[in-house]
Amino acid sequence: MTTWIPICTVQEIPVLGARRVSRAKGPDVALFRTSGDQIHALLDRCPHRAGPLSQGIVFGAAVACPLHNWTIALDTGCAREPDEGRTPVFRVKVEAGQVWLDGDELATVAVDLLPVQAGPCTRVNC
């Protein structure tokens, strides 16, 4: 049996944008909203160099990674040719404008990966 967790409303995700969902372990999950109000959830980590997909540009049914412009399909998490790779996809349910994610997936999928680190470098000679 699936344990669904309420996350936010559809309106709280920008059209052609994203919203991050923090987890106790592992990288965040990114919720994406298409121009047709379809909601998708991917691990917020590009399969190429772990770029934060939530900061990418959403177009059609894909998101462009902000680091190297890889195009990731929102429904499968697969990189579009000629690139190869896949980021995990999370099940989403939308009911009466409320967005829900599968709690079991949130607790188990890709929790062994390090969260994406973004921001200024803290080492000397970065």
pTM of the model: 0.89
What is the pLDDT, as a whole number, of residue 1?
A: 83
Domain boundaries, the chain: 4-108
The per-residue b/e assignment along 82-121, b for 16 or more CB within 10 angstroms, e otherwise, is ebeeebbbbebeeeeeebbbbeebbeebbeeeeebeeeee
Is domain 4-108 given the CATH code 3.30.420.240 in the classification? no
pLDDT tens digits, one per residue of 66-97: 999 999 999 999 999 999 999 999 999 999 99
Q: Which residues does the chain have with pLDDT short of 70? A: 115-126
What is the pLDDT, as a whole number, of residue 2?
A: 86
